[in-house]
Structure 1
Amino acid sequence: MPLSHHDQVTLLKDILSNHQTDCCGSVAECEQLERLIKSLMVNNQVDQNVKSILQEVYHYSQTGAQTADLDGHITAHQENLSQWVDDIGQFS
């Protein structure tokens, strides 16, 4: 059974919050973010403001999945992670 767009947004926010709180993550989480974002970007129910944030998060997850220092990448984006979670929460 596929996740609703609301469930996808919740999962997206959970992963970003975990990265922000724990200052670490996995390549699998970055890949999950990419899949969630691809699905949300084609969904007409998703607010256009969220889609612009999703593009930033997609770039973050792509870079994170390819970096040799994922924890450093996450730490460097602490402010962005917090802002993205807040912004997505406002529009979803």
Structure 2
Amino acid sequence: MPLSHQDQLTVLRDILNNHQCDCCGTVAECEQMERLIKSLMANDGIQADMKSMLNDVYYYSQAGKYSPDLDQHISNHQEQLTQWVSDMDQFS
């Protein structure tokens, strides 16, 4: 059974929240965020301001996936992670 867009947003928010709280993550999480965002971006029901934020998160996840030090990448983006999690809470 496919995930609804609300479920996809919840999974994405959880991964971002874990990165923000734990200051660490995995390449697999970055890849999962990319897949979720691609699916969400194809959804006509997602608002334009949400798509803008999703685009930013997509680039964060891509950069993280290829970063030689993913934990440092996550640490360097703490402010954005906090903002994205907060923004996602407002969209829910």
TM-score normalised to the size of structure 1? 0.97
Q: Secondary structure at the match of 1:72?
A: helix
- Equivalent residue letter for 1:43: N
Q: How does 1:26-41 map to 2 (within 5 A)?
A: 26-41=26-41
**CA–CA distance in structure 1, aligned partners of residues 75 and 12 of structure 2:** 18
**CA–CA distance in structure 1, aligned partners of residues 6 and 62 of structure 2:** 23
TM-score normalised to the size of structure 2? 0.97
Partner residue in 2 for 1:51: 51
CA RMSD of the aligned region, Å?
A: 0.7
Partner residue in 2 for 1:9: 9
| Residue ranges of structure 1 left out of the alignment (5+ in a row) | none
**CA–CA distance in structure 2, aligned partners of residues 86 and 49 of structure 1:** 14
Size of the aligned set, in residue pairs, is: 92
- Equivalent residue letter for 1:11: V
- Report the Cα offset of residue 91 of structure 1: 2.1
| Residue ranges of structure 2 left out of the alignment (5+ in a row) | none
Partner residue in 2 for 1:76: 76
